[in-house]
A and B are shown apart, each in its own frame.
Chain A
Amino acid sequence: MSGALAPPSDDALDPDAPAAAAATSRWPGVARYVVARVGQGILVLFGALTASFILVHLTGNPATVLAGGQLPLAQVQALSRQLGYDRPLAVQYVTYLGNAVHGNFGTSFRYGTSALSAVLSALPNTLTLIAVSIVAAVVISVVVATASVLRQGGWSDRMWRPLLSALQGVPDFWIALVLVLVLSVRLHWLPSLGYTTFSSLIMPCTALTLPMLASFSRLLRASMLDFTDSDVALALRARGLTRREIVLHHAMRNAMVVFVSYVALQAGWLVGGTVIVETIFAWPGIGTMLIGAVQARDLAIVQATVVLVAVAFTLLNLAADLAVIWLDPRIGRERVSGR
């Protein structure tokens, strides 16, 4: 977590900064930053592709995994030849990379279509789940953290903090089970399986939101307090701003830099992290599909899912990095710190 950030106007007060430097555009620096981040994203995708390739070949011939120990050797060899698994590893790797770049992960034998289109058809359901959970967690945590900073040490602050710390340790799938137990089995209020009506969203999203809510509001509270404890805040106070103004306008904006990156990171993890909650609610998303594919040893679907999740993850983080440029005017003006 970075410390408190100086407001942009501080440059004018800095005797070391020549006036000329302040006048030059920060765009060359920003461009360099963006190129570096995009390059890193491509590197990550390459890594994800390689990892999923290694994974499938970890036990030697994937055809034996497909056969599941039930086919005679001759048939395994035939299958291996048919799927190209008898070629040298290097050749397979290059072919795999080439196909992957074109979005071709092979045909899913469970669905009979291309693996990528099967996974893509399930993706919107997962994204809905994630979007609703993230938005709920962000909105609630902003309110909770602000209230807790404004009345630091007050009863709501003291009540929320232990509750949130405890919440952070509770596994989402257990929350899901308890919700099903109470709201579906006992009270018959909500449907427990599938995605039929809008109310189907309530339980899975609650299960995903609660643990995130805990980490979001703790992070936000800590970084806002970092700011209110800083010399900048003291200076603002000396200029006559009220504590409320400092918290709402300055501390909030400064905290957003770290918060946005963190939320994007969490959203990215969720793309692959909804699996357990999805299976509990039989949610028609990529998580349920992945588990089904693993059980049926449908390797094409497994590979496509892993890579798609990595793509979504990379894009989300890239978007967050770009948002941070807008939030933090220092980026590009000087050497990008942190490395």
Chain B
Amino acid sequence: MSALNMRIVRPRLRSGSLTAGLILLGGMLVFSVVATLASPAPTAQDLNNTLAGPGAAGHLLGTDALGRDVLAWVAGGIRTSFEIALLVVALSATFGTVVGVAAGYLGGWLDAVLMRLADIQLSIPPLPLFIAASAILANNMLTLVILISIVGWVPYARLCRAQTLVLRERGYVAAARLAGRRRATIAVTHLLPGLTTEIAVLGSLQAGIALLWEAGLSFLGLGLQPPYISLGFLMSQGKEVLAQAWWVATFPGICLALLVVGFNLTGDGIRDLFATGTSGGIR
């Protein structure tokens, strides 16, 4: 199709990206469950069988330096990644949406203060902040989720504010106001439904980013440590034995990349299908 074409608007009822993304994510989930059931506990050590190569008896993807099964570890890591993604997206989407809708709908000084805060938030590079925070705070899943969400809520707030500014001028919102509905009710029943697809797009993209951050921090030894099962931590173990055992670092990396690509494709697909405006960029 040549560009400079006539812009033909036709409804798109299918999206290749969405299908591919969902299949990828679903596949990873199934893989994680099946592999968890089929392998020994990820923390079970077998010091007689350290750094066994892929295909060794009972260890399809080999073992690490402590004889732990890489397949079991990868499967558990995928599960942890899903948990992190879900929690981070839930927390930051909720907070960001409330702030954004409030700022857009109520306006005034609240709007000014909230959006300046968001500006500042967006301008501080998160990784050094995470690292510095982990020097001070204890490492556990809750801390990590809160840290990533502290950075992650801003794009939701910006998006929701911008959309609310548009939606509040619509006739049906005016009608609801004339009918005497309370502002909170209008926000929930009339504004929120118009925001859901855009939030879903952002959420899907953010999920991939949250995974990368978790893995990165865990890789540095600042995120999740055992007893948590993290892909990033396994990769840091793999880095130590890279010369002898390539499989320890390689397989978790592939899984991580597949997860992130799955979330990105899903997000792109939802946008292709439903979203009207452009979702703000999220890193």
Contacts and interface: CB of A to CB of B under 8 A. Distances in A.
Contacts of A80: none
A171 B212 contact: yes
Contacts of B129: 51, 55, 272, 306
B220 A43 contact: no
B131 A174 contact: no
The prevalent SS among residues of A at the interface is helix
B132 A294 contact: yes
A297 B135 contact: yes
Given A55-B129, A166-B261, A228-B3, A314 B123 contact: yes
B123 A276 contact: no
Interface stretch (A8-16, A176-184, A328-336): A176-184
Contacts of B2: 152, 243
Interface string B33-49: 00000000000000000
Nearest to B120: A47
Interface residues of A, number: 62
B116 interface: yes
Contacts of B54: none
Interface stretch (B66-74, B101-109, B177-185, B234-242): B234-242
A173 B235 contact: yes
A57 to B, nearest CB: 9
Contacts of B242: 177, 180-181, 185
A185 B243 contact: yes
A137 interface: no
Contact of B123 (A237, A262, A317): A317
A40 interface: yes
Nearest to B134: A294
A185 B243 CA distance: 6
Interface string B262-283: 0111001000000000100101
Nearest to A310: B124
A153 B136 CA distance: 52
B5 A313 contact: no
Contacts of A181: 242, 246, 249-250
Contacts of A190: none
Contact of A55 (B120, B123, B133, B278): B133
A275 B281 contact: no
B193 interface: no
Given A171-B256, A180-B242, A229-B7, A276 B220 contact: yes
A313 B124 CA distance: 8
Q: Chain B interface residue count: which class?
A: 35 or more
Contacts, number: 157
Contact of B4 (A56, A185, A229, A276): A229
B216 A276 contact: yes
Overall SS of chain B's interface: helix
A291 B235 CA distance: 17
B257 interface: yes
A94 interface: no
A171 B133 contact: no
A134 interface: no
Contacts of B128: 272, 275, 290, 305-306, 309
B119 interface: yes
A65 B136 contact: yes
Interface in B219-235: 219-220, 222, 235
Contacts of A173: 216, 219, 235
A229 B124 contact: no
A302 B132 CA distance: 6
Contact of B257 (A1, A171, A185): A171
Interface string A169-213: 111011001101100010000000000000000000000000000
Contacts of A317: 123
Contact of A169 (B120, B126, B133, B260): B260
B253 A177 contact: yes
Interface in B103-153: 116, 119-121, 123-129, 131-137
A250 to B, nearest CB: 12
A272 B136 contact: no
A181 B253 CA distance: 13
A51 B124 contact: yes
B4 A243 contact: yes
Given A166-B257, A181-B242, 12 more contacts: A51-B129, A58-B137, A59-B137, A171-B257, A178-B253, A268-B125, A276-B219, A280-B239, A290-B128, A290-B132, A294-B135, A309-B125
5 contacts: A48-B123, A58-B133, A169-B260, A180-B242, A302-B131
